[in-house]
Structure 1
Amino acid sequence: MCGITGFIQWNRDLTQESELLVRMTESMSNRGPDAGGTWISNPCAFGHRRLSVMDPENGAQPMIMNHGDTQYTVVYNGELYNAPELKKELENRGHHFKTNCDTEVLLASYAEWGPECVERFNGIFAFVIWDSGREHIFMARDRLGVKPLFYSDQGDLLVFGSEPKALLLHPAVEAVVGPEGLAEVFIIGPARTPGHGVYSSMKELRAGHAATFNRNGFRSYAYWKLVSQPHEDDVDATAAQVRSLLIDTLERQLASDVPLGSLLSGGLDSSALSALAVAYYKRNGQGNIDTFSVDYVDNDKHFKAHSFQPNSDAPYIQRMVDELKTNHHFMEFDTAEVVEALNASTLARDLPGMTDVDSSLYLFCREIKKKATVAISGEAADEVFGGYPWFHRDEMLNSGTFPWAVAPKMRASLLSSDIAEWTRPLEYLNDRYSDAVAETPLLAGETGKAAQMRVMSYLNITRFMPTLLDRKDRMSMGVGLEVRVPYCDHRLVEYVFNIPWEIKITGNREKGILRKALEGILPDDVLYRKKSPYPKTHNPAYLESVRQQLLDVLDDPSSPVLPLLDVKKIKEIAASKEASSNNPWFGQLMSGPQLFAYLTQVNNWLKTYKVSIR
């Protein structure tokens, strides 16, 4: 994976802007620690940082290709998992390749098929191409939005980048946040509305979208979206198809010219990927695979079972390691490390995020990077197959808002009266929820429970899943680790989206159809283990540490967050003994220690990025 950035301006000589381009490019050196390159040719200035995964000796970017009378130049972040098939088809059409990297395949695909090339891609990607023949920029992002792409459209100027930090270095892109941006941070956050960049001058190209930029301006459009279709397969045929798709997806994603490992939590999703990877390695004589797990110092002492997390991961991790005979690496972090990394995780996102769930993943990825360059992870299985509690609890299904938007009235009450009046956070939340529900593609005549579960699936795939994909991309790429997410394969997502709810919960279990698909692959105690969330620290020392950090912020008159908040109310909450660490991350996104840490992250973000509120 990589970091891309650049700008296009029609009526200005950009050849004198090399220093600016280098600064923008180098701001993302963590995303691409292996190499960097820039290219300026009016009206374009492109920059690229490379993490070498396929054909490390070749594939430098920006990459230029001449085809016919046209020159094409690309900067690309991602991986095409069907590159071998595309390459063969393109060779049959007369193309000749100089490298074994997928960048050249992507560029040749565009030269051959134009903007429609994205419909042929299986992979995760964000790229920008200068097409000298059409005299336009073409950019696109993968169907589920695994790879990020931000842009700032300013008429005759377009600035783009994998991360906001690169765009903010351009003098035309200001770190200004208005009422919508604040509503995103305080009532939607750490999630984001698709396409919203928080910063007023910035947007994110939506998942499954492409765009063109020429002298007539910028235009974006959807090239892919979820479509509802009748499901004809019975339970057995459905399970067989899920199994087939998952195996094909994973085996495509195991291709790498650098060391590869698998994250292993002992839960259904990661255990399945690890087991399938081990089987593939054995069949192909590739030896053993490295697996990685994470926990916290003394968590065994402080862990308390509850309905969201009935047991700890450790015994199940060991069960899978014994079963698969992997080279396992068990990472453990203490409270001080997790707290210290909170600021690093904010810098990786360029925004406040998921606090300790971010910082621990940042530390985890940093340790994995010492052993592997690529890792497989189980993100998206819960969104796609319906694993979260809100799929199964009536009070959450019928909440009338995003079920992960915990206590929105309480969250809104944290704002100062002036900011609350300016941002209207509850109205903003209701509007974004209504937009999402209205977008849902229902089958003709679909009503009742079927329609309700279709909406819930759509909300999770298009609104909640991007939160976790953002997290995984920023925390992993922040340390130069590529993480692949097989459950985001668009073929699998399209198929499962149309499986009726009663089949999805086969056996009256959450993710029942996935469990049935994995019969014989996992031991029964892991196969039927109840969902357990990403591990978080239960140590009361973490709560006390982030509480004190927040109190220090509130007591510092120079803290930029103070004018935005009802400081008295927040101090009362911080002084309360009711705050608990014993909720899963998705049950306390803005309560207890996550609230304290999040507000501190907001303050650090405002200060570090010199954000102007207006």
Structure 2
Amino acid sequence: MCGITGWADWSRSLADEGRTVAAMAATLGCGAADSTRSRLAAHAALAWCGRGEGGEDGAGRGTADAAEQVVVAFDGELYNRAELRAELERRGCRPRGGSDRELVRWAFLEWDEAAFDRLVGMYALAVWDGRDERLLLVRDRLGIKPLYWARCGEGVLFGTAPRAVLAHPRFPAEVDAEGLAALFTVAIKPPGVGVYRNLREVRPGHLVRVGQGGAREHRYWSLRTAPHTDDLPTTVAEVRRLLGQAVGEQSQSEVPLVALLSGGIDSSAIVGLAAEALTPDGGKLATYSLDFADGERDFKADALHVSRDAPFVRAVVDHVGTRHSEVVVQAPALTDELGNTLRARDMPGVGDLDASLLLLFREVRKQAEVALSGEGADDIFGGYPWFLGEAGQATANFPWSAGVTDRNAQLSPELRAVLDLEGYVADAYADALAEVPHLDGETGPDRRLREVFHLQLTRFLPFLLDRKDRMSRANGLEVRVPFCDHRLVEYLWNVPWEYKRAGGQEKGLLRAAVADLLPEQVVNRPKSGFPFGQSPQYLEAVRQSVRQIIDEPSSPVRGLVNEAAVRAMVDSDAWFNGKFTPPPWLPRVIQLDQWLREYGVSVVL
């Protein structure tokens, strides 16, 4: 497991604060297989842990030259390390050691903040420049890796998980109306909101520059809108090239690597390309899939889950020739794991959708340290059903949330008096829409679909990436997402909807780009979402847990929810209607109650 954390304060010396920073780093879960390192300076203390951090790489030996005054804490993976090292060496730099952190340090010494434009990968990093006592907090372009920060006196705290910041004695665990609204609405949270009161996220593609004069955010990457001039065959070929490049780069690993497989076009494309990339090594690619015990009996099709994965998984395994393992989740395990998913996120999440992913990653980690995932394909190619719906009839809302009615109904009267979820969503939507970079003269469905893709990339995809990161990080597993390679995203941003829907099918462009790698039934399989628990035993276990919570007078969650509405859901199946949104409220009640108790969270309204 990897992570970074630290503290900078220009009003006091932190040279004797090693114990505090060590406590912050300890929350990141670095175990015996990892190495934790730290640096203490007059006004900054940084700590980092992860694979490949053992030994001395030349960073900070107490000498006075410029190179030794720059310290980098790095979490993630660079995919262009060979090219970056070669360019640095051509310029006379001699990075010591093989870590990505050392490469970033020398890149910063050579190009200062312009160095971040040269990084290809997923990362959250901090740079302390002792020459001018400047702290930089930087996050990758798509937000694959999380990074939180908070003001603390005359300085800031930061960490790759909220718990690292919460471990500081001067940062209380509190939540206000904005944080509660972010918890109660999924994939709508504005970028930068950290849920805990006064906690912020570094926005994707941004850096936060902190000095004695305060903190300022700077965007170093954004999507650029321009006419798409390639014809359809050229576009198909370029998508294949860019995706193949991303998968090839991300398939390189010094530790065992596997691929996640659902039998859909997204993960199957990754498997097909990764198998090709690994062929020269003479070994078979290992793949993993998820299913539920009695899934064949309990499965009920809906708008986002049109078919079971298992038959299509087998078709890919047989066609590509992978070493496959199926992870079968038992229904009781979902409720048992809700507490672990809470601790993985440091806040309530999305119930069994988190739990099933956590269980999958736990099994994968027994055999591998790195996995490839198809996350992000629906977001950049337009795979979700609401893309087609918005092309035909636009809504004035987040498309995945347009059908939700009366969000306030589950809130207690006291909370409704200060928290209007409908107004929160409306304001969040207006802010998100104002960020869209339109093409001059763009109108009608083309204009609306550009808006939907931007909403997807800046609101929905970050929610998915955070879920993926939290559940994998909790198991010490690194999950790579080739579809989120920024070069592929930049290209697809300007590809017209008619190309993305080539052949009249969702993600038709992707299907055309990888059709030669996969069996026909998989190439033509309609979108089917991540599997979720439909077991009657799971549903009853959740209802029973909520009954106990609501019946307990001291339960802290009772002040936040409408008890009558929750009891009505406990006694019916209305909360579980087969739709993707809103997420079931009953698992949310369980996690809210546990969060308020276990984390000692105070509600400040």
Give the distance between the partners of 2:90 and 2:253, measured in 1 at CA: 25
The corresponding residue for 1:208 is 205
Alignment of 1:69 with 2:69, yes or no, is: no
Work out which of the residue numbers 375, 379, 383 in structure 2 matches 1:379.
375
Mapping of 1:195-274 within 5 angstroms? 195-274=192-271
Alignment of 1:163 with 2:156, yes or no, is: no
Give the distance between the partners of 2:56 and 2:328, measured in 1 at CA: 36
The corresponding residue for 2:45 is 45
1:546–1:198 distance in 2 versus 1, CA, 3 Å: same
Tell me the amino acid that sits aligned with residue 2 of structure 2: C
Structure 1 vs Structure 2: percent identity of aligned residues?
39
Alignment of 1:174 with 2:172, yes or no, is: yes
Moved more, 432-441 or 411-420: 411-420
User: TM-score, normalization: structure 2?
Assistant: 0.96
Q: State the Cα distance separating 1:178 from its structure 2 match.
A: 1.2
Alignment of 1:305 with 2:268, yes or no, is: no
Native 8 Å contact 2:399 2:452 kept in 1 = no
Give the distance between the partners of 1:178 and 1:148, measured in 2 at CA: 21
Q: State the Cα distance separating 1:238 from its structure 2 match.
A: 0.5
Give the distance between the partners of 2:264 and 2:406, measured in 1 at CA: 33
Mapping of 1:383-532 within 5 angstroms? 383-394=379-390, 398-405=394-401, 408-532=404-528
Give the distance between the partners of 2:178 and 2:473, measured in 1 at CA: 28
Instruction: Tell me the SS of whatever aligns to 1:125.
Output: strand
Give the distance between the partners of 2:518 and 2:62, measured in 1 at CA: 47
The corresponding residue for 1:564 is 560
1:317–1:66 distance in 2 versus 1, CA, 3 Å: farther
Instruction: Tell me the SS of whatever aligns to 2:109.
Output: helix
Tell me the amino acid that sits aligned with residue 26 of structure 1: A
Instruction: Tell me the SS of whatever aligns to 1:487.
Output: helix
The corresponding residue for 2:90 is 92
Question: What is the root-mean-square deviation of aligned Cα atoms in Å?
Answer: 1.9
Mapping of 1:570-609 within 5 angstroms? 570-580=566-576, 583=578, 587-590=580-583, 594-609=584-599
Native 8 Å contact 1:155 1:217 kept in 2 = no
Q: State the Cα distance separating 1:304 from its structure 2 match.
A: 2.1
1:580–1:395 distance in 2 versus 1, CA, 3 Å: farther
Deviations 1:313-359, CA, capped at 9 Å, x for gaps: 00111111111221111111101111101110011001111110101
Give the distance between the partners of 2:459 and 2:301, measured in 1 at CA: 29
Native 8 Å contact 1:151 1:161 kept in 2 = yes
Give the distance between the partners of 2:158 and 2:32, measured in 1 at CA: 17
Instruction: Tell me the SS of whatever aligns to 1:553.
Output: helix
Give the distance between the partners of 2:115 and 2:77, measured in 1 at CA: 15
Deviations 1:4-26, CA, capped at 9 Å, x for gaps: 00101112222332221111101
Which sections of structure 2, spanning at least 5 residues, go unmatched?
none
Tell me the amino acid that sits aligned with residue 546 of structure 2: L
Tell me the amino acid that sits aligned with residue 253 of structure 1: Q
Give the distance between the partners of 1:18 and 1:542, measured in 2 at CA: 45
The corresponding residue for 2:139 is 141
Mapping of 1:282-361 within 5 angstroms? 282=279, 284-361=280-357
Q: State the Cα distance separating 1:62 from its structure 2 match.
A: 7.4
Give the distance between the partners of 1:397 and 1:303, measured in 2 at CA: 30
Deviations 1:454-498, CA, capped at 9 Å, x for gaps: 000000010000000000000001110000000000010011111
Tell me the amino acid that sits aligned with residue 16 of structure 1: D
1:97–1:60 distance in 2 versus 1, CA, 3 Å: closer
Give the number of equivalent residue pairs.
603
Tell me the amino acid that sits aligned with residue 113 of structure 1: W
Q: State the Cα distance separating 1:67 from its structure 2 match.
A: 9.2
Give the distance between the partners of 1:275 and 1:340, measured in 2 at CA: 35
Q: State the Cα distance separating 1:61 from its structure 2 match.
A: 10
The corresponding residue for 2:21 is 21
Instruction: Tell me the SS of whatever aligns to 2:556.
Output: coil
Tell me the amino acid that sits aligned with residue 582 of structure 2: L
Give the distance between the partners of 2:230 and 2:574, measured in 1 at CA: 50
Deviations 1:105-129, CA, capped at 9 Å, x for gaps: 1111001000111111111111001
Tell me the amino acid that sits aligned with residue 125 of structure 1: Y
1:468–1:478 distance in 2 versus 1, CA, 3 Å: same
Which sections of structure 1, spanning at least 5 residues, go unmatched?
none
Native 8 Å contact 1:4 1:49 kept in 2 = yes
Give the distance between the partners of 1:499 and 1:196, measured in 2 at CA: 31
Give the distance between the partners of 1:560 and 1:6, measured in 2 at CA: 32
Give the distance between the partners of 2:393 and 2:602, measured in 1 at CA: 38
Deviations 1:271-313, CA, capped at 9 Å, x for gaps: 111111111111x224111111111111111112344322110
